[in-house]
């Protein structure tokens, strides 16, 4: 579904992706984890060609997206919903209008049809009470939920989430995890979730990819990831005080 083949990216001669290989399978939820600056957001941006690789191939549904231009590029991007690292809501539009925007821009749906879809997704993320509010007047967690609604409203095949729980308190973070999981199982989408938060990664992933110094160090399902012998992975888990017995200690965390 999404495949990076030996992708390299440098910014003004400074390498950020150094021979990056990754295969995200159709229908799975893959989390990308790694320390700040590891290249997680840069990786997501390559998937929708917001950034272009210096070399290597990036295949979406078997098609190399690097050379795409114009209409072909736009239609490739329509496969994606994207929740940016900052929720990136337009500050002068209400929650309702922010969520309606992708449908107004990308589709020829009638106002009635748009209204039905927007209300449905906002209900899905428990935001029905805030349709008319401006982003500045709602909390960070509500902004993330509105961003989530906007990412899914056009029913994309692939959802990209950049730090969906950053800056949120632990309780709200777990609500967002459950939402991501439920949306994935309802819609059957392929999801790539960038996160610092190992609890999120363990809870919602089919597989976790550890990024380190511009490469993919390890890709494994949560239980194998917890048992990894790789020193960088172990240090990363230890830095967040994640126990090797995480699932035995918190069985309610098992969503997958
Ligand atoms: N447009 C750009 N121009 C120059 N350098 C960039 C650009 N975008 C990212 N970088 C650099 O690439 C590296 C990886 O950045 P990236 O945003 O992918 O990190 P990250 O893993 O998402 O980190 P964080 O967890 O802090 O969000 C960083 O050193 C960053 O400074
Ligand atoms: Mg980032």
47 CA to centre of ligand 1 in angstroms: 15
**2: nearest Cα among 151, 189, 179, 187:** 189
Average pLDDT on 6-10 reads 96
pLDDT range class, residue 188, cuts 50, 70, 90: confident
Atom of ligand 1 nearest to the CA of 194: 22
pTM over cut 0.85 = yes
Residue bearing the bigger pLDDT, 87 or 197: 197
For residue 164, is pLDDT > 70?
A: yes
Alpha-carbon distance of 101 to 104, in angstroms, equals 5
198 CA to centre of ligand 2 in angstroms: 15
The residue whose CA has the least distance to atom 13 of ligand 1 is 37
pLDDT range class, residue 222, cuts 50, 70, 90: very high
Residue bearing the bigger pLDDT, 132 or 197: 132
DSSP string spanning 84-96? Answer: -SS----TTS-HH
pLDDT at 209: 97
Average pLDDT, the chain: 91
Residues contacting ligand 1 via CB (< 6 Å): 11, 16, 34, 36-42, 196
For residue 141, is pLDDT > 90?
A: no
User: Which residue bears the tokens 């990754």?
Assistant: 22
pLDDT digits (tens, 9 = 90+) for 77-94: 989 998 887 767 999 999
pLDDT range class, residue 1, cuts 50, 70, 90: very high
Please tell me the least confidently modeled range out of 71-75, 85-89, 170-174: 85-89
The two three-digit tokens of residue 90, written as one number = 């337009």
pLDDT at 255: 67
Q: How far is CA 199 from the centre of its chain?
A: 15
For residue 245, is pLDDT > 90?
A: no
Average pLDDT on 14-23 reads 95
Alpha-carbon distance of 176 to 126, in angstroms, equals 11
Average pLDDT on 130-134 reads 95
For residue 256, is pLDDT > 70?
A: no
Alpha-carbon distance of 1 to 179, in angstroms, equals 23
Residue bearing the bigger pLDDT, 85 or 118: 118
Nearest ligand to residue 36 Cα: 1
For residue 170, is pLDDT > 90?
A: no
211 in Cβ contact with 40 (< 8 Å): yes
Query: Does the domain spanning 2-79+156-253 belong to CATH 1.10.1060.10?
Result: no
Q: Identify any residues that bridge with 3 across adjacent strands, giving them in sequence order.
A: 23, 59
Cβ neighbors of 94 (< 8 A, separation 6 or more) are 131, 132, 133, 134
pLDDT at 196: 86
Q: Any long-range contacts for 232-238 (C-beta under 8 Å, 24+ apart)?
A: 236/33, 236/34, 236/35, 236/198, 236/210, 237/198
**150: nearest Cα among 201, 108, 98:** 98
The residue whose CA has the least distance to atom 9 of ligand 1 is 42
The residue whose CA has the least distance to atom 16 of ligand 1 is 39
User: Which residue bears the tokens 């991007």?
Assistant: 77
pLDDT at 87: 66
Q: Any long-range contacts for 102-110 (C-beta under 8 Å, 24+ apart)?
A: 102/150, 102/153, 102/154, 103/153, 103/154, 106/78, 106/154, 107/154
85 CA to centre of ligand 2 in angstroms: 7
């Amino acid at each position: 579904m999404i495949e990076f083949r030996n992708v390299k990216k440098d910014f003004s001669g400074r390498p950020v992706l150094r021979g990056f290989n990754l295969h995200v399978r159709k229908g799975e939820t893959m989390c990308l984890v790694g320390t700040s600056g590891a290249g997680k957001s840069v990786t997501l941006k390559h998937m929708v060609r917001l950034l272009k690789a210096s070399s290597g191939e990036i295949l979406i549904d078997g098609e190399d997206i690097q050379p795409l231009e114009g209409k072909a590029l736009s239609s490739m991007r329509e496969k994606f919903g994207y929740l940016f690292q900052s929720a990136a809501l337009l500050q002068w539009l209400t929650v309702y209008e922010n969520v309606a925007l992708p449908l107004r821009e990308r589709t020829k749906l009638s106002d009635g049809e748009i209204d039905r879809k927007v209300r449905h997704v906002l209900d899905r993320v428990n935001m029905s009470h805030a349709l008319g509010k401006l982003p500045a007047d709602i909390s960070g967690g509500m902004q993330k939920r509105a961003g989530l609604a906007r990412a899914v409203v056009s029913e994309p095949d692939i959802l990209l989430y950049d730090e969906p729980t950053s800056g949120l308190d632990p309780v709200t973070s777990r609500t967002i995890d459950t939402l991501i999981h439920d949306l994935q199982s309802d819609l059957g989408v392929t999801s790539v979730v960038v996160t610092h938060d190992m609890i999120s990664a363990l809870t919602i992933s089919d597989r976790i990819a550890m990024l380190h110094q511009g490469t993919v160090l390890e890709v494994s399902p949560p239980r194998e990831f917890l048992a990894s012998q790789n020193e960088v992975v172990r240090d990363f888990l230890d830095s967040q005080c994640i126990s090797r017995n995480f699932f035995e200690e918190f069985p309610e965390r098992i969503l997958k």
